Structure 1
Amino acid sequence: MPEAELSTVRPPHDGAAPAPASARNRPARLPALAPLAWLAAGWNDFRSTGYRAAFYGLAFAAMGWAIGFVYETQWQLTMGLTAGFFLLGPFVCTGIYELSRQRERGEPPDLVRSLSCWRRAPGSIGFFAAMLTFLMIIWARVSVVLFALSSTTEFPTMRGVLGQIASASNVEFLALWSAVGFVFASLVFAISIVSVPMMLDRGSDTMVAVFTSARALAENPAAAYVWAASIVLLIGASLVLWLGLLVVTAPLVGHATWHAYRALVPRAPG
């Protein structure tokens, strides 16, 4: 065989070629009720990790109580900042994802390790946290502006909140405030369904994780709606009834989010 031809001959591959990044991160298509399985798996994780997961739930509840205490006389700030705090939920739950990851790998749950798990992808997770913080700040400012534009009198205290909400004169404002809040919450939900677990598990770039998350939502709109409704029901009930419920509901949602990630973005061979 001529030398020129020998240079073009390639040895056969031993096995399949590695899957491209787009294939490795391709979202699966799941049934609408798949989130129920995520919640069930999340509950098993919560029971297994015990006080370690409850520690994170207590952090959620403590922050909510602190915001309510500091801004008791300015409830317009309390509502905006509390809502904004929960926009940061996907990042705050990083340690909960790590606890689920440890259990999945057959390792004993380790609270100390979960607190520093972000070090596996500090750049990606840090940038994503900055994105969420930026959105939280914008939402807090927008919330205050909306209150200021709609108020003709001095802001009421926390004790007057329910009366203000029930007042027919505030229906237009509440509709606007809720609509704007829905836009912010929807944006955060779209970019964070699987983002942080993916960065934590695969060391993915922030934008790759964000686009994969948005794509997972686009591929599974029905399941995404059920999942969003489940989060709103669990966290919303805790906010309305008693913040102490977050000790259970916040870790439950966090653990379930890990299983949502595993189901929505399964590993491709190669």
Structure 2
Amino acid sequence: MQILETEKALQQSRQFGVKPIPMLRPLGWLARGWGDLCRCPGPSLAHGLVLALIGALIFLLAKDRFWLLAGAFSGFLLVAPILATGLYVISRDLERGQKPSFATVLRAWRPRDGRLVVFGVLLAFAGTGWVMTSASLVTSFTSSPIHAPMDFLHHVVLNEESHLFEAWLALGALLAAPVFASTMITVPLLLDRKIGEVSILGAVFTSWRVVMEYPAPVALWAALIMLLTLFGMATLMLGLIVIMPWLGHASWHAYRDLVSTRD
């Protein structure tokens, strides 16, 4: 049964073509994403405010437990694709010549499509798994408590007698790389295609095809997302109000630029 489902998902994925892109195309996604943000600032920035508040809540809950905070923020990035669903809808409506509103975002946060709900739960499990793994790794292999950023810097990052930081980064990359490859265009594709056209697994296979076809531009895109998100966090989360919707809109254009849906 599982083999049949996998084969069906592969067949669904093959119906979507992968468009060729140049190395610096991700910069174009950012430009078009910024255009969408400027065309529909109210709902977009409201969405960004909610995500920034989530980030601030994470910080408040774990501010004295930096061993947990480091993993929590990286876990937040893992589930960001599903949190940006409303932004994809806004960009889709703008593309269709429609005028998105706050109601557009609210409808997106109450999805009737079970695929998005299930995929969101799977991402939440992945994010939670990384948070717990990160916290366990840091607390188990440090000789001193990690309560503040400076503790993490001294006892983990700059500890010459330990390779804990390298192990932490390697483990994070080991999880983040396949999750990013599985999510890069999955949520926009599920949102754009009806239930009978593509399953969660079919969308994930399509996302992996995109990544394997153009690894260099995809790596650049991942780096841009990471750098902009870190900058937003460094501004006491205020920058995320703009950066998160900007990246969300840009991600929709990445999907439209990479995947041929024949319509």
TM-score, scaled relative to structure 2: 0.88
Q: Which residue of 2 aligns with 1:172?
A: 163
- 1:71 pairs with one of 46, 52, 62: 62
Shift of 1:164: 4.1
Shift of 1:136: 0.8
Q: Tell me the SS of whatever aligns to 2:260.
A: coil
Q: Tell me the SS of whatever aligns to 1:168.
A: coil
Point out where structure 2 has 5 or more consecutive residues left out of the alignment: 1-10
- Are 2:12 and 2:202, in contact at CA under 8 Å, matched by a contact in 1? no
Structure 1 residues 224, 170: CA separation in 2 closer, same or farther (over 3 Å shift)?
A: farther
2-side partners of 1:101 and 1:219: how far apart?
A: 25
Q: Which residue of 1 aligns with 2:237?
A: 243
Q: Which residue of 1 aligns with 2:33?
A: 42
The aligned amino acid for 2:259 is: V
1-side partners of 2:59 and 2:192: how far apart?
A: 35
Shift of 1:171: 5.8
**2:172 is the alignment partner of 1:181:** yes
2-side partners of 1:152 and 1:168: how far apart?
A: 11
Q: Which residue of 2 aligns with 1:6?
A: none
The number of residue pairs the alignment matches comes to 250
The aligned amino acid for 2:209 is: R
Structure 1 residues 161, 245: CA separation in 2 closer, same or farther (over 3 Å shift)?
A: same
- Are 1:120 and 1:200, in contact at CA under 8 Å, matched by a contact in 2? no
Question: In terms of Rg, which structure is larger?
Answer: 1
Quote the RMSD (CA, aligned, Å). 2.0
Q: Which residue of 1 aligns with 2:15?
A: 24
- Are 1:72 and 1:158, in contact at CA under 8 Å, matched by a contact in 2? no
**2:207 is the alignment partner of 1:213:** yes
**2:98 is the alignment partner of 1:116:** no
2-side partners of 1:178 and 1:79: how far apart?
A: 11
Which deviations, in whole Å up to 9, do the C-alpha atoms of 1:120-160 show, x marking residues without a partner? 65211111111111111110111111012212123333564
Q: Which residue of 1 aligns with 2:247?
A: 253
1-side partners of 2:110 and 2:157: how far apart?
A: 47
Q: Which residue of 2 aligns with 1:263?
A: 257
2-side partners of 1:107 and 1:87: how far apart?
A: 30
TM-score, scaled relative to structure 1: 0.86
Point out where structure 1 has 5 or more consecutive residues left out of the alignment: 1-19
Deviates more, 1:171-180 or 1:132-141: 171-180
Structure 1 residues 112, 61: CA separation in 2 closer, same or farther (over 3 Å shift)?
A: same
Structure 1 residues 68, 170: CA separation in 2 closer, same or farther (over 3 Å shift)?
A: farther
Deviates more, 1:246-255 or 1:146-155: 146-155
- Name the % identity: 33
